[in-house]
Amino acid sequence: MRSRRDALRALAASLAAAAAGSIGCARRARVVDARIEGSLWFAYGGKNREVLLSLVDQFHREQGRYRIEAVYQGDYFEALAKLRTALAAGAAPALTHVVGEVVPYLAEAGVLEPLDRFLAGAPGGDLDVVEALGQSGTFVGGGERPLVCLPFNRSTPIAYYNRNVFRELGLSPPTTWEELRATAARLVVRDGESTRRWGFECPVDWWFWAALVGQAGGDVVAPDGTPTLGGEAGVRALRFWQTLVHEDRTMKPPPGRDYNAWQVTNTDFLAGRVAMIWTSTAFLRYLEDNAGQAGAGKFEVGAAPLPRDVRASVPTGGTMFVMPRGAAPAAQEAAFAFLRWMMQPEQANSFATRTGYIPVSRRGLEVLRQGGYYAAHPNDRVAVDQLAHAAPWPWSPDLFRVQREAVQPRLEEAVLAPRDAAETLSEAVRAARER
């Protein structure tokens, strides 16, 4: 089986080949039912998939010029692998979405269409996106670069808790790391050597570790682009997890990797096997709708900001819309028409309020605030309020490689084994700086 490094190097080679061959080789756009067709690749299932496809259908009902062919491509990482293959073959979709950390890599490889040229000829010009969620706020210096991405399903990590259990024990959501340790200890229920209910659960994942690093006062990449993985703050973040798992025995590390671990975390929470979790705001509607249906009895879901250490800090997550190079001009026209339509307040709010993602339109956010939506749905407000503490990612072509190759595998080993945190991060820094 190929290593992650082999896969990432293959991605680099294929992107370079795609960039060299994409100009002048655009295909002819399809016309279906007298409509110009643009392809959209998307990368999630369940509730979020249903909502997206319903919006595609709405787009078709509201106008008769364009048609969007929406095709599911697996999870984010499966979809990225398929995009790599399609770029190399000159068969990339007109529109897709990718995790934010990979945008600088794709942009520097020259395989993304600059979106400014579409905006220049569009009525209204500015799409009025929430700055912290768009390119300018998601990346350090992102506003100084050509626009290559627009926000789609954007999120922050947030805390979810079982309101019934918290009320019973007289607890409030923790606001600091020390409060998290104390609260998790109060929430644990043991039967001898077995644990009937864990206090806390969180996927052992890069995204949540990056949140901890920021809270401890560090940054995963220095301003000059050098991967530091937070220095001492990165070590403290890793040790905090180790303490919860091995010393306090209050945190259940979910088995599995990537989104398998996320799903286990959600399932444990819904079943009452854990009283407090960290996961994405993306799962808000899903958790609210299904709490207790896995056998624990119905309970009320609460959401809260992540606790702070020396400061409050959260990374943004989710994906950005991008337009790969090489599609036919007419297909690109159709794709951008849909993209622009999705950025409008009505559609941005519809997607967000039906899923749990953050609305990406500033005007749309104001509509929700003034209309009393957040007063009636306080859980939805948590991620929006946390944007005040959102830490931008560096515009680094190595960011995705650092995540997938240097950090993620070592986090799992260090927390579960456990391994010395400082030694683990030193090894990860060396791997991150390899070329």
pLDDT confidence band for 121 (50 / 70 / 90): low
Residues 13 and 107 in one domain: yes
Residues 79 and 226 in one domain: no
Task: Quote the percentage of the chain above a pLDDT of 70.
Answer: 89
Residues 179 and 143 in one domain: no
Helix H or strand E encompassing 51: helix 46-62
Average pLDDT over every residue of 386-392:
96
- On the question of pLDDT at 53 being above 60, the answer is yes
Of the CA atoms within 13 Å of residue 304, those in its CB half-sphere come to: 20
Residue 127: per-residue pLDDT: 82
- On the question of pLDDT at 62 being above 90, the answer is yes
Residue 170: per-residue pLDDT: 98
Residues 335 and 365 in one domain: yes
Cα 287–191–197 angle (5° rounding)? 15
| CATH code where residue 217 lies | 3.40.190.10
Residues 144 and 212 in one domain: no
Task: Quote the percentage of the chain above a pLDDT of 90.
Answer: 77
- On the question of pLDDT at 204 being above 70, the answer is yes
pLDDT confidence band for 20 (50 / 70 / 90): very low
Q: 125 in the Ramachandran plot: left (φ > 0), alpha (ψ -120 to 50) or beta? A: left
Residues 195 and 291 in one domain: yes
CA 121 to mean position of chain CA atoms: 31
Q: Where are the beta strands (DSSP E) in 135-273?
A: 150-155, 157-162, 189-191, 194-197, 200-201, 251-252
Average pLDDT over every residue of 240-262:
88
Residues 190 and 276 in one domain: yes
pLDDT confidence band for 295 (50 / 70 / 90): low
Residues 92 and 207 in one domain: no
Average pLDDT over every residue of 50-62:
96
Structural domain count, the chain: 2
As a whole number, the mean pLDDT across the chain is 89
Residues 87 and 192 in one domain: no
Residues 366 and 418 in one domain: no
Residues 47 and 188 in one domain: no
How big, in percent rounded to 5, are the helix, strand and coil portions of the chain? 50, 20, 30
pLDDT confidence band for 25 (50 / 70 / 90): very low
Instruction: Give one DSSP letter per residue of 107-165, joined into a string.
Output: HHHT-B--THHHHHTSTT----B-GGGSHHHHBTTGGGS----EEEEEE-EEEEEEHHH
Residues 273 and 414 in one domain: yes
Residue 7: per-residue pLDDT: 46
**Structural domain for 383, as ranges:** 4-155+317-391
- On the question of pLDDT at 94 being above 50, the answer is yes
Residue 294: per-residue pLDDT: 53
- On the question of pLDDT at 104 being above 50, the answer is yes
